[in-house]
Copies of this chain bind each other. A is one copy, B any other.
Amino acid sequence: MTTRRVRARPGEGPLLREEILAAAEALLIESGTEDALTLRAVARRAGVTTPSVYLHFADKEALLEAVCLRVWDQLDSDMNAAAARARDPFRALGMAGIAYARFALSHPVQYRVLMMRSPATTAALACHRRMVESVTACVEAGALRGDPEKLALSLWAAVHGCVSLLIAQPGFPWPDDLDAFIEETVAMAGFGAALSSRIPRRTPWTTPVLTERLDALAAGLPTR
């Protein structure tokens, strides 16, 4: 214990909490993995003994969750800002999806901890709620049809799967242009929701008919 932290004065207790969070966040970002987040390393970095962490966090898991939730507020404002750049609700939905992916890739450790572990449901609920808002606007505008809750779930799953694989499988031979891949996945999900929500399940469509209609539809769209 080389440099010991000066003791907080009474009433300034929560001050240490912030220092611990900052130390843990730095450790997480520098190492790139949550395995490096040991209580001893965090305490040493905060200039405090190990058990002092328990004065502000119930256990290691609570600390880890608190650290990762720290960046989560930015997600909502990111998605809002991105959606605001398009007045059309359906395009705004796509913008929000791309913003979601960018956010996840900007905070890979936090995203993995909160979304790929057992119960970090509060963060997941925030994601879903935000999605439902954008989807509801699209339903009201007529771009999508059906239950916004379920539509949002499927759309969310698609973009989550994209960033989830990118984060968890860095050794995979991903395409060179990741931005393009993300955009294409978001587009697939959006167009898919628009089309699929118009086709009742158990509809006896056949692939040749579908192919012909899709070709006709695409041919009728304006080209740049």
Q: A residues touching B (Cβ–Cβ < 8 Å)?
A: 33, 88-91, 112, 115-121, 124-125, 128, 141-143, 149-150, 153-162, 164-165, 168-172, 174-175, 180-181, 183-185, 187-196, 198-211, 213-215, 217-218, 220-224
Contact between chains at A222 and B204 (CB < 8 Å): yes
How far is B218's CA from A194's CA once the two chains are assembled, in angstroms? 11
Cβ B218 vs Cβ A121 within 8 A: no
Q: Give the secondary structure class of A's interface.
A: helix
Determine whether the beta carbon of B188 is less than 8 Å from that of A189: yes
- Residues in B neighbouring A214, C-beta threshold 8 A: 194-195, 198, 217
* B224, A204: Cβ atoms closer than 8 Å: yes
Q: How far is the CA of A161 from the CA of B101 in the complex (A)?
A: 13
- A195–B214 Cα distance when bound, in Å, is 6
CA distance A141 to B206 in the complex (A): 12
Decide if B165 touches A157 in the complex (CB within 8 Å).
yes
Contact B169 A207 (CB under 8 A): no
Instruction: Give Cα A153 to B184, complex, Å.
Output: 10
Q: Taking CB as reference atom, which chain B residue is nearest A166? A: B157
Q: Which residues of B contact A119 (CB under 8 A)?
A: 169-171
